[in-house]
Amino acid sequence: MLNDMHIATCHNRRILVIDDNLTIHEDFRKILAGATDSTNLDQAGASLFDEAPVPAYGKSFEVSFADQGQIGFHMVEQAVAEKTPYALAFVDMRMPPGWDGLQTIEQIWKTDSSIQVVICTAFSDRPWHEIAARVGRTDRLLILRKPFDALEVEQLAVSLTYKWELAKRAKMRMDGINALIDLRYKELLQSNARLKEEIATRTVAVSNPNEQFQQLNEQFQQFVKDLRRAINTADNAN
């Protein structure tokens, strides 16, 4: 079982939004970070969503933003180096003039293979088979078609950050099991070495008396031969 410290380590509400549209940043902030200072969103609704983004689950996330793929990649790099990784990244497909969404994801996964990713794309961007051909078929990537609503985004955030936490806990359990197996294996090797040493010691202890008996027997046989030779010599002399 994981203790409280390990559970706290698994808890992760950190989300990165990578999109070149700064208005979209405000949309995501309104939904995921619970921002209340965006009166323009309240009045006009979101630019990318079907309706004004109002959180439904009441979950508050720690949301960071990047307006280019390269910047987002470096933020992921820094987060990993500081041991505060992101659980989830929302990545826009098109972000001129820099990396597109696929290149951004490819680079991010080279640094952090456990981060969950939602790629935000329109029907006119790229078909799924092209995306799969680039990044491979994986359960760490979901596609969110534009336009999408606020509830859809929040559901993904809740589900995928929880999925990240479950994967983290499973890895920690597996690491603990592997460490225990390694420990038991080393103990078994040590016990086996001690047993071999004990067997060798007892073998020597048993073999020594046998060698002594053999030597005494040989000496006795030689004594008998010498005695018979002496008797024969005395008989011949008489």
The structural domains of the chain, with segments of one domain joined by +, span 4-169
Region of poorest pLDDT, from 42-46, 60-64, 161-165: 42-46
pLDDT confidence of residue 72 = 97
Q: Which residues lie across from 18 on neighbouring strands?
A: 66, 91
pLDDT given for residue 185 in this prediction: 82
CB distance 24 to 49 below 8 Å? no
Decide if pLDDT at 92 tops 60. Answer: yes
- What's the rounded mean pLDDT across residues 12-41? 80
Strand intervals (E) in 37-153: 62-66, 88-92, 116-121, 141-145
**pTM of this prediction exceeds 0.95:** no
How high is the mean pLDDT of the chain?
80
Higher-pLDDT residue of 1 and 179 is 179
pLDDT at 153: 93
At position 22, the amino acid (one-letter code) is: L
Per-residue confidence (pLDDT) for residue 41, from 0 to 100: 43
Q: How far is CA 173 from CA 6, 170, 176, 179, in A?
A: 10, 5, 5, 10
Q: Could you give the CA distance from residue 172 to residue 176 in angstroms, rounded to a whole number?
A: 6
CATH number of 4-169: 3.40.50.2300
User: 88, 78 in Cβ contact below 8 A?
Assistant: no
Percent of all residues in the chain with a pLDDT value above 70, rounded to a whole number: 75
* pLDDT winner (highest mean) among 29-38, 75-84, 136-145: 75-84
Q: Which one has a higher pLDDT value, 182 or 67?
A: 67
pLDDT digits 0-9 by tens, 183-234: 888 888 888 888 888 887 776 665 566 666 677 667 767 776 777 777 777 6
Span of 106-110, 118-122, 164-168, 187-191 with lowest mean pLDDT = 187-191
